[in-house]
Amino acid sequence: MATTCAKILSPAGHRKRRYPAGHAARALAVTPSAVSTNVQYVPPPGEGEAYVRAYSSDCTARHTTNFGKDIRTVEVKDARLAAKAFDLHRDGFTLSRLKVPTLDWKNAEEVKRWYYPLALQLVKDVSGASEVCPAYTGPSRLAHVLREGKVNLRTERRSNELAMHQPNNMVHVDFTAESGPERLAEGLPREAKELLQQRFAIVQVWRPIVGPVQESPLAFVDACSVELEDLVPVRLDHPERQSAFYALQYSPRHRFYYYKGMTASEAVVFKSHDSCSQSIARFSPHCAFHDPSTSETAAKRQSVEFRALAFFKDKM
């Protein structure tokens, strides 16, 4: 494997800190290799407060929440120009090459037949996993999501057609320590009991369908700059099921990176869950963001996210 589990703990007696709005904007020294932009955090929850996002039952993206927004100005650096090469198991994400044939991305069966094997092999190569499989969800039995910038075309799914989801500018992690195992059990119900005894991870592959990406690029927070106290669980109430994800509360420690001008032959591989509780990069926070230098006539982002279950021989 590329790495072993390394224990990282918060200093003894470390207390949660609250930062006033505008904190990040006061000291930003933006370099040519970075952009200054706003991203969405959530306010720190009160004692005993549980955040919830509830979706409507009409097959749209409409939802209600019981929490507000905490908009912060951050610096997002170009990872291509960073002094270090980013590693999946240390930093939570890394860039890879992935050549994909021309596909009808709205045809689910075609995507599953041709794209899934390519993405699975990439996850296996990058993660060092012994076994990989698609992280299927719900009755749709799909492991991928399509997104298109600024336009929400999410509609009821019929036959092989997929809905487009718009990019998400909330800093988040797609799974929590609890919902990760639930996704495994949902996708592999017969094998789940045995598989949950070994280390596994949910690894995602994000790539543009059309490049280079100009509008709504994807930013990642270096996992080395994130502490567990920054992660805020949010329960997801769907009409047919419940799940959960992590939103993030603001910290000036967070270091944001993106790969400027990603092409369709590139993909970012990142972790959304690692069952090894002592892993350095157990979760990889990310979000879409607005690059102020983007032209108003720039093509809207079109991208695909694929989720895989990766299993490792080392013990939890």
The structural domains of the chain, with segments of one domain joined by +, span 34-311
**What tokens appear for 10 in the block?**
């918060």
Each residue's pLDDT, cut to its tens digit, for the chain (316 residues) gives 444 443 333 333 334 444 444 444 443 444 458 999 999 999 999 988 999 988 776 555 567 888 999 999 999 999 999 988 999 999 999 999 999 999 999 999 999 999 999 999 999 999 999 999 999 886 678 999 998 865 432 333 333 333 346 788 899 999 999 999 999 998 899 999 999 999 999 999 999 999 899 889 999 999 999 999 999 999 988 777 889 999 999 999 999 999 999 999 999 999 999 999 889 999 999 999 999 888 888 888 999 999 999 999 876 5
34-311 folds as Jelly Rolls (2.60.120)
Q: State the pLDDT at residue 13.
A: 37
* pLDDT for res 7: 34
Instruction: State how far the alpha carbon of 128 is from the alpha carbons of 29, 93, 124, 162, 266, in Å.
Output: 37, 14, 6, 31, 19
Write down the pLDDT at residue 283. 97
pLDDT of residue 300: 87
